Amino acid sequence: MTKITSFLMLAEPDRLQYPYAESIASLASFSDCVIVNFAASSNPKYRQFEKESYDKLIMLREQFSQKCEIKIIMNETWSYQHEQTYDEIRCNIQNVLDKIDDGWFLKCDGDNVFQDTENIRKLFEDLQNEYHLVSFPRIDIINKNKLSINSMSRDIYAFNITQLVNDKIEFSISKDSKSWCRPSIDKNYKHFIVDDIKCMPFNYDATFFNRNRLINFWKKTSHTYEFTLGKNSHVNNLTDDQIVDQYAKYRMKKVGNIININHPKFIINKMNNLTSDFWGFDNFGYKI
């Protein structure tokens, strides 16, 4: 049976309103090991936000101890969340990847939740002797009643460490800012792109953001993106309403094929408790 090691990074997940507990629970249901890189702030003003998150991680580790090992790596940093540089994030992933010497290494995000975990393990077992890399398109959550397939997403992926090593193929996390944190493989390799909806992760990006959180998120995201491209940041000149409007237009452009599918069991309660104060309820009234 193949070994599956899953990895995700967290920084102030409770304050930043990410469904990280649900994400980890879904990963633990099919992984042999889940490695959580917990970015502990060196800045004292952030420490108050971290204790609750860390306590939840300990509870999850105890809950799944019989079926999956959950490792917590404390990564102390002064730069936080979207203030982190692309290279710092890349290095955190690379440092863990360098320590995995067999099986699959699945890189996930703290706002992704998988659904059909039995099929995912079978998928890895079926592909383990042939493919070097697996990419997972995502199911984007527009709101609680509207979901679409993001077939172009390549941010969730798995290296087949065993096959790559056996075939003497060099691999790493890309240093190119245009493909940051994605795989870099040095020669011909076999790449499998998942097409079974049951195996695609649900992407709850911004679903549980209130208005203030959404505005701050989009300010930092826009600034980081423009800085990377060498452009002057314009977002600070916008009003809060204009920022929300800009984000809504951005999400409208990303909507793919609409699908009818149930949310994963790990997150149903959280979705049922959504109110109109959060983006994922009805997108603050925008028709997306």
Q: Tokens for 246, please give them.
A: 């800009």
CA–CA separation, 134 and 190 (whole Å):
9
CA–CA separation, 151 and 108 (whole Å):
16
pLDDT in tens, the chain (288 residues): 789 999 998 877 877 788 999 999 999 999 999 999 887 666 666 666 677 788 888 998 999 988 899 999 887 655 444 445 667 788 889 999 999 999 999 999 999 999 977 899 999 999 999 999 999 999 999 999 999 999 999 999 999 999 999 999 999 999 887 787 899 998 889 999 999 999 999 999 999 999 999 998 898 888 776 666 666 777 878 999 999 999 999 999 989 999 999 999 999 999 999 999 999 999 999 999
Q: How far apart are the first and last CA of the chain?
A: 43
Amino acid at 13: P
Give yes or no for a contact between 220 and 81, defined as CB atoms under 8 angstroms apart: yes
Q: Tokens for 258, please give them.
A: 């609409």
Place of tokens 């609750």: 52
pLDDT digits (tens, 9 = 90+) for 7-57: 998 877 877 788 999 999 999 999 999 999 887 666 666 666 677 788 888
Dihedral sign (CA 76, 81, 84, 90): positive
**Strand-pair category, 146-150 with 257-259:** antiparallel
CA–CA separation, 82 and 88 (whole Å):
11
Could you tell me which residues come within 8 angstroms of residue 201 by beta carbon, excluding any fewer than 6 positions away? 108, 112, 113, 114, 115, 136, 138, 139, 156
Cα 121–39–112 angle (5° rounding)? 35
CA–CA separation, 11 and 78 (whole Å):
11
Tell me how crowded residue 284 is: count the other CB atoms within 10 A of its CB: 18
* Closest CA relative to residue 9, chosen from 54, 87, 75, 62: 75
* Domain ranges within the chain, ordered by starting residue: 1-288
pTM exceeds 0.75, yes or no: yes
Q: Tokens for 166, please give them.
A: 């056996």
If you classify domain 1-288 with CATH, what class do you get? alpha beta
